[in-house]
Amino acid sequence: MTILVTGGAGYIGSHTCVELLQHGYDIIVVDNFSNSRPESLHRVKQITGRTFQTYYINLLDKKSVEKVFLDHQIDAVIHFAGLKAVGESVAVPLQYYQNNVKGSLILFEVMEQFSVKKLIFSSSATVYGNPKTVPITEDVELRATNPYGRTKQMIEEILLDTAHADSSWSIALLRYFNPIGAHESGLIGEDPEGPPNNLLPYISQIAIGRREQLRIFGNNYPTADGTGVRDYIHVVDLAMGHLKALEHMQKNHGIEAYNLGTGKGYSVLEVVDAFERVSGNQIPYTFVKRRPGDISSCFADPAKAKKQLAWQAMRGIEEMCADAWRWQRNNPTGYRIISEKTPMQKPTSVFLMH
Ligand code: WQD
């Protein structure tokens, strides 16, 4: 089976490409490298020993998207491509609606045009907004509170309407909680551009000496130690959730949402403690005021994915931190090659072979 992976060069995309290739799928990657680097795909080939084709295109370019479907017999699509920074989405909302919603619409139209109706959509727990109760089940009301989360919620609603209009679609909406960690090889991992917004990459950059100290956003939340609680999930467990969803949709039509989380919440201080233990590095921190838009506690009830997809997270917080640290230690500047003088060398052609 050939799987089209949009955003396949990204953090979760590259980890999912590894698992797809190692489980016998063929893949085609589409990426505009706006928030990723071709180097991650070279590493995917290095890990798996398998080659694949990559198209350096933007989903907003419908003709280029159609060409991918003309060139290949695509059996299913995993759609990761999208802008994903909450803070940035508040500053430039139109860019997020254009890129995430319009880009998805074009992809879905082309899929329909070529009768490719198996889709896994990379959604997010952000669609739940500030949950009234935790753990969170898939049937609660969606109440995204920022433009990024609203793009995910809108795309889910577009897909709900599509599936209700045409029962031949098979769609899985995978709502990620907080993906962290890296492949055990240390060859691929999270590589944010600029100062990391997210907790784990910030901590690992402190440990490697790129950042001074962690600012903990608020220690007066109604949690055990006052700091925010989240459901951190190992990125490889997350990748395996996509393969299980792919298997499930071979035998099932219709549309379903699944929480991909561990079902266990950890506070910021607990994550810092776990990282210090596994890395042997002290992480200096200071408490500052809450970050606007942050919520107190958010963690999943992953029972539906366990029941319907036969999937559950297998890796604990220490393994997540150890794998994140191995990636960062082996790649102090991420995928950037230190000798790189200019900004990332964008690919010179639309078509790349990895
Ligand atoms: C986790 C905890 C912070 C950084 C975001 C997106 C979400 C998803 C995952 C895409 C919180 C605290 C963080 C720091 C801190 N992305 N923190 N100091 O906000 O739960 O979710 O990433 O789908 O959409 O919203 O993750 O890692 O930013 O924060 O104290 O420098 O760490 O307050 O409690 P978040 P995060």
User: Is the CA virtual torsion 74, 76, 82, 85 positive or negative?
Assistant: negative
Residue 202 near ligand 1, beta carbon < 6 Å: yes
For residue 338, pLDDT beyond 70: no
Asked if 320 contacts 180 with a C-beta cutoff of 8 angstroms, the reply is yes
For residue 339, pLDDT beyond 80: no
For the chain, the average pLDDT equals 95
Residue 296 near ligand 1, beta carbon < 6 Å: no
Tell me, yes or no, if 148 is annotated catalytic: yes
Q: pLDDT at position 349, please?
A: 73
Q: pLDDT at position 337, please?
A: 74
- Going by alpha carbons, the residue nearest to atom 11 of ligand 1 is 228
* Nearest one of 11, 16, 36, 312 to 180, comparing CA atoms: 11
DSSP E strands: which ranges in 177-295?
178-180, 214-217, 229-230, 232-234, 254-260, 266-267, 285-288
Q: What is the mean pLDDT of residues 281-298?
A: 95
Q: Give the percent of the chain with pLDDT over 70.
A: 97
Confidence class for position 293, pLDDT limits 50, 70, 90 = confident
Residue 124 near ligand 1, beta carbon < 6 Å: yes
Q: What is the mean pLDDT of residues 251-268?
A: 97
User: Two tokens at 23?
Assistant: 């489980």
Q: Domain 2-353 carries which CATH code?
A: 3.40.50.720
Q: pLDDT at position 340, please?
A: 52
CA 94 to centroid of chain Cα atoms:
21
Structure confidence by residue, pLDDT tens digits, 43-98: 999 999 999 999 999 999 999 999 999 999 999 999 999 999 998 999 999 999 99
Choosing from 11, 96, 128, 148, the catalytic residue is 148
Ligand 1: distance of its center to the CA of 320 in Å? Answer: 16
For residue 260, pLDDT beyond 60: yes
Residue 308 near ligand 1, beta carbon < 6 Å: no
Ligand 1: distance of its center to the CA of 168 in Å? Answer: 37
| More confident of the two residues 352 and 59 | 59
Atom of ligand 1 nearest to the CA of 271: 32
Task: Name 259's bridge partners.
Answer: 175
Ligand 1: distance of its center to the CA of 306 in Å? Answer: 25
For residue 345, pLDDT beyond 70: no
**Geometric angle at alpha carbon 38, from 37 and 40, rounded to 5°:** 80
* Nearest one of 255, 259, 245, 76 to 160, comparing CA atoms: 255
Ligand 1: distance of its center to the CA of 155 in Å? Answer: 22
Q: pLDDT at position 353, please?
A: 74
Q: What is the mean pLDDT of residues 99-118?
A: 98
Asked which of 80-94, 201-215, 327-341 is least confident by mean pLDDT, the reply is 327-341
Q: What is the mean pLDDT of residues 309-337?
A: 96
Structure confidence by residue, pLDDT tens digits, 21-50: 999 999 999 999 999 999 999 999 999 999
User: Is the CA virtual torsion 11, 13, 18, 23 positive or negative?
Assistant: positive
Residue 283 near ligand 1, beta carbon < 6 Å: no
For residue 124, pLDDT beyond 70: yes
Task: Name 56's bridge partners.
Answer: 31
pTM for the structure as a whole: 0.96
